[in-house]
Amino acid sequence: MVTSVVQRKIIHLDCDCFFAAIEVRDNPRLTGKPVAVGGAPEKRGVIATCNYEARQYGVRSAIASAYAKKLCPELIIINPRMSYYREISCSIQTIFHEYTDLVEPLSLDEAFLDVSNSTYCKGSATLIAEEIRQRVYDTQHITISAGVAPNKFLAKIASDWRKPNGLFVIAPNQVAEFVLKLPVNKIYGVGKVTAAKLKAMGIATCGDLQQFSLDTLINKFGIFGERLYELAQGIDHRQVQSIRRRKSLSVEHTYPDDLGDWSAIQIHIPTLLADLEVRLAPKLGEGYAISKRLVKIKFHDFTQTTLAEACQPQSIQEVLTVDDYKRLFSSAFQRGKKPVRLLGVGVGLMDLYERNPVEQLELFPGGTSDKQ
């Protein structure tokens, strides 16, 4: 007996300039003006997101608000209203769940949907995506871009293909041709270092990458080589996970004045650890164990470094020790020996609910960031 395999239908939905779009929607006088959501320039704030009018000046998320104002003197920076954004996100997610139970939120403004078995819109993923986009606009008056593809990797790329307010579909029979010309820097996980290695090998597109064997790529890039090999062919077996479990938890703080030396840094470590303990305590009752200590330093010139060390599962008090974190921070500080603008402390988490937990490290994730 031959069992037929259902062709997966994955949608990636991404609200356009989510935080900024909400602020412009609520204040029509901002329409057509460069708008950003973020911290105040005089308090060393950082841009969370901005609209497309601001991006024309080079403003983007994660840059200093003061620098953003230099790029665009007319930029209007609005303090974030996170609780309000979460309410709107919840309303949008409710719409998503009407079409499938398989919804994987990535942040407040984006999510994957697996509609492979959905009977809505005659089972058409494209029609479902179109209907969701229209409903979000009708109810929230903000636009949302969508990508439809046979897997998560391609769906996410597709949602960015016609931003803003666009829909792009990669059908199963189009995958092979589509990935041939896809730049390798579109592959998730390919940063500057990996991109430089690929360029040195003469690899600019996924088509170029397909010319190399699996063994060669593993030899060059380790475990990530296997991922490169599959994604270059448009293969991605990851499932849409309706319940996402944490891999790390952290707190960080940007200081009004640079911390000039090691003695100035040490003073702030106990406060950071106290804040982390408040956040961490409830999580350990949700099936997690601490597996790593993490620290992060961002220097005054915006270069940054992170450092981690494994630790045996212990009580919070045994893990969050000032002496251990001082030792990690001291080693991290030695990498730059420059004035410091931001400090972060965190822990890596092991999911005890997994049958065979394999922990992956995500240092200081931006869980509420507004991705573009």
User: Would 175-231 and 248-351 be classified into the same CATH topology?
Assistant: no
Q: Is 110 designated active site? A: yes
Encode pLDDT of 238-265 as tens digits: 999 887 677 888 999 989 899 999 999 9
Strand 144-149 to 10-15 pairing: antiparallel
Q: Which pLDDT value is given to residue 285?
A: 67
* Residue 130, helix vs strand vs coil: helix
In words, the CATH class of domain 248-351 is alpha beta
In terms of CATH architecture, what is 1-170? 2-Layer Sandwich (3.30)
Looking from the CA of 352 toward its CB, the CA atoms found within 13 Å total 10
Which amino acid type is present at position 335? R
Query: pTM here?
Result: 0.73
The CATH fold of domain 175-231: DNA polymerase; domain 1 (1.10.150)
Any binding-site annotation on 370?
A: no
CA 58, CA 67: separation in Å to the nearest integer? 10
Encode pLDDT of 118-136 as tens digits: 999 999 999 999 999 999 9
Any binding-site annotation on 160?
A: no
CA 146, CA 156: separation in Å to the nearest integer? 8
Structural domain spans, the chain: 1-170, 175-231, 248-351
Cis peptide before 164 (omega within 30 of 0): yes
Is the C-alpha dihedral spanning 228, 232, 233, 234 positive or negative?
A: positive
Q: Which pLDDT value is given to residue 365?
A: 44
Mean pLDDT by runs of 10 across the 372 residues of the chain is 69 97 97 94 88 96 92 96 91 94 92 95 96 96 97 96 96 96 91 90 95 94 91 94 81 91 95 91 74 93 91 79 95 94 92 49 42 40
Nearby residues of 192 by Cβ (< 8 Å), 6 or more positions away? none
| Among 23, 53, 104, 110, the one annotated catalytic | 110
Looking at beta carbons, which pairs linking 61-66 to residues 24 or more positions away fall under 8 Å?
A: 61/369, 61/370, 61/371, 61/372, 62/369, 64/302, 65/36, 65/38, 65/39, 65/40, 65/41, 66/41, 66/42
CA 132, CA 144: separation in Å to the nearest integer? 9
CA 338, CA 39: separation in Å to the nearest integer? 23
Q: Which pLDDT value is given to residue 286?
A: 66
